[in-house]
Amino acid sequence: MDIFEQQAHNRRMTAGILALFVGLFLFLGLGFDFFYGSFNPVPAVNLEYNADGYYESRRPGAAASIPFGTIIALLVGMGMAANSMVNGPSMVLRSCMARRAVSADGKEKQLLNIVAEMATASGLPAPAVYVVPDQDLNAFATGISPANSVIAVTQGLLDTLNREELQAVVAHEMSHIRNYDMRLMTVLAGLIGAVALLSDFAGRTFRYGGRSSSSGGSSSSGSRKGGGGAVVLIFFVVWIILMILAPLLSRMLAMAISRQREYLADASASELTRNPKGLIAALEKIRAAVMPTSAINNGVAHMCITDPRGSLIEEKMGLTADLLATHPPMEKRILALKAMAYQAEHPQQL
Site for other proteins, rule CB under 8 A: 106, 109-110, 113-114, 116-118, 120-123, 163, 167, 272, 274
- How far apart are CB 346 and other proteins at their closest, in Å? 20
Name which of 99 and 274 has its Cβ closer to other proteins. 274
Name which of 17 and 272 has its Cβ closer to other proteins. 272
Alpha-carbon distance values, 186 to 126, 180, 258 (Å)? 22, 10, 11
- How far apart are CB 3 and other proteins at their closest, in Å? 12
- How far apart are CB 123 and other proteins at their closest, in Å? 5
What's the Rg (C-alpha) of the chain? 25
Q: What are phi and psi of 305, to 5 degrees?
A: -80, -30
Name which of 120 and 294 has its Cβ closer to other proteins. 120
- How far apart are CB 120 and other proteins at their closest, in Å? 5
Alpha-carbon distance values, 6 to 10, 258, 268 (Å)? 6, 15, 9
314 is catalytic: no
d(CA 81, CA 141): 18
Query: What is the DSSP secondary-structure string of 331-346?
Result: HHHHHHHHHHHHHHH-
- Cβ count near 50 (within 10 Å): 10
| Sign of the alpha-carbon dihedral angle for 112, 115, 120, 123 | negative
Are the C-beta atoms of residues 198 and 29 closer than 8 Å to each other?
Answer: yes
Paired sense of beta strands 55-58 and 46-49, if any: antiparallel
Name which of 118 and 184 has its Cβ closer to other proteins. 118
- How far apart are CB 173 and other proteins at their closest, in Å? 16
Name which of 164 and 322 has its Cβ closer to other proteins. 164
Query: What is the DSSP secondary-structure string of 28-77?
Result: HHHHHHHHTSS--SSPPPEEEE-TTS-EEEEPPPGGGG--HHHHHHHHHH
Give the end-to-end CA distance of the chain in Å, rounded to a whole number.
9
- How far apart are CB 273 and other proteins at their closest, in Å? 8
Q: Which residues pair with 49 in a beta bridge?
A: 55
Name which of 82 and 112 has its Cβ closer to other proteins. 112
d(CA 177, CA 184): 11
| Sign of the alpha-carbon dihedral angle for 70, 76, 82, 85 | negative
- How far apart are CB 320 and other proteins at their closest, in Å? 39
Name which of 6 and 122 has its Cβ closer to other proteins. 122
Are the C-beta atoms of residues 195 and 247 closer than 8 Å to each other?
Answer: yes
Query: What is the DSSP secondary-structure string of 75-135?
Result: HHHHHHHHHHHHHHHHHHHHHTT-EE--TTSHHHHHHHHHHHHHHHHHTSPPPEEEEE--S
Catalytic residue among 5, 108, 164, 173: 173
Catalytic positions:
173
